[in-house]
Amino acid sequence: MPFFMLIFRNLLRQRIRTLLTAFGISLGITTVVALGIVTDGFKATAQQVLRAGGSDFAIGQAGSADLTFSTLTNDQLNAVAAYEGVEHATGVLMAVSRLGSNPFFIQLGVKPSDLQYFQVPLVAGRHLAPDGTNEILLGQEAASQLGKKVGDTVDLKDRTFTVVGIYRTRDTWQDGGGILPLATVQEYERKPGLMTLIYVKAKPGVNLDELTARIEKDHPELATLRTVSDYGDVDQGVQFMDAANLAISFLAVFIGGIGVMNTMVMSVMERTREFGILRAVGWRTRRVLQMVLGESILLCLIGSLVGSILAVIFTRLILIFPVVRSFLEPEYTPEVFIRGLVVGVAVALLGALYPAIRAVRLSPIQAIRYE
C-alpha cells in the first residue's frame, strides 16, 4: 500500500469526525477566501475609479479618511490644469444616494463640456447638453436595474431628471451609477464650487512620475493617485479591509488550529499503541511524524478545497443583490486561493505539531503497553 494511501485510510477510520473537522476548517477557509475575493474586487473597483474617463491619474485631498470626504476647489483644479504637461483636468464631484432599490447609487457631477475628455462611451442617446441641468446619463447596469431607457425620467434628490443617454464603460461602479451636470450635483449636495476628484489627462510623452511628483511638491494638500496603494492616501477603506482580512486569516488559523489539534490529539491518543507497534517494527520517528502531519495536512487540504468552492459560490450568490452588483465585481485571482491554501496548511501544521510530537515521545514499549 502506498504511504499516501495509509494516511488516507487513517482519516477514513473515523469518518464522521474527519468530515466534521474538514467542514469546520472549510468554514474558516471560506471566510478567508471570500473576504479576499471581495477585497480584491474592491481594489479592482478602486483602480477603476482612479482611471475613470480614460485619465492618466486622479488627484484627491491628501489625508481623507474616505474618498467621498475629499474636497477640492476650483482654484486647485485651475492650478492643476495650468501645469505644462497636463492636457486636460476634469473636476468631478461624487455623491451617493438612494435611487429605486439601490441605496448606493453613485452620481458623478461632470461639466458637460468636459465629457469630450472624460470618456464615457454611449450605447444609446446623447451626452449632456451644455445647459441641460436636469439631464442624466445612466450606466448600463443602473438603467437595467431601474428598467429605464433614453427618454424616461428618474427621481433623484427631489428632482426629476430625463435620461438622455446610456453609457457602458465596463467599470462596475460607473456602470451602476449615473453622470449629471457638475453644477447640479454641487447644488443638491450643497457643495458649491467643490469637487471630489480631479481627473488628469497628460500630454503625450509626458513623464507621469515627474508630473505627479511636481504637483505633490507644489501642493502638499493634494494626493496624486495612480495605483491602489495610492488610493489609501484618500480612502482608508481598502487598508481597513486588508487589515480585517489579515486579522480574520489569523483568527481562522488559530480557531481552525485548535479544532484540528483536538481531532489529531484524539486520533493520536486512540492510536498510541499502534504508534508503538509501528516503532517496534522499525518505523523511524520521522516517518511517524510524516504520517501524523500528513493526516492533518490532508484533512486541511480537503477543508481548503471545500472552503474555496464555498467561497466562490458565496461570492456569486451575493451578486444576486443589485446593490452589490452595482459597485462590486468579485476578483477570482490565484493569489486569493493560494492564500486560502496557505492558511489551510498553517492550520494543519499548528494543529498537528503537538499530537505528532506526542506520538513519537513515548518509547515503543511504553506505547505498546498504553491503555
DSSP-assigned beta bridge partners for residue 162: 135, 153
Q: Which residue has the cell 496603494?
A: 229
Which one, 170 or 284, has the nearer CB to another protein? 284
Which one, 246 or 280, has the nearer CB to another protein? 280
Helix axes 3-13, 285-317, angle to 10 degrees: 70
- Smallest separation (angstroms) from another protein to the CB of 371: 13
* Site of interaction with another protein (CB under 8 A): 1-3, 6, 9-10, 13, 273-274, 277-285, 287, 363-366, 368
CA dist 7 and 352 (Å) reads 14
CA dist 265 and 82 (Å) reads 70
- Smallest separation (angstroms) from another protein to the CB of 295: 13
- Smallest separation (angstroms) from another protein to the CB of 10: 8
Q: Cα–chain-centroid distance for residue 351? A: 29
How far lies 368's CA from each of 274, 278, 281, 301, 361, in Å?
Answer: 7, 9, 12, 31, 13
CA dist 132 and 142 (Å) reads 20
Q: Which three cell numbers stand for residue 97?
A: 444616494
Which one, 10 or 70, has the nearer CB to another protein? 10
- Smallest separation (angstroms) from another protein to the CB of 367: 9
Residue 257, judged by CB atoms within 10 A of its CB (0-12, 13-18, 19+), counts as buried
Task: Give SS3 for 63.
Answer: coil
- Smallest separation (angstroms) from another protein to the CB of 368: 7
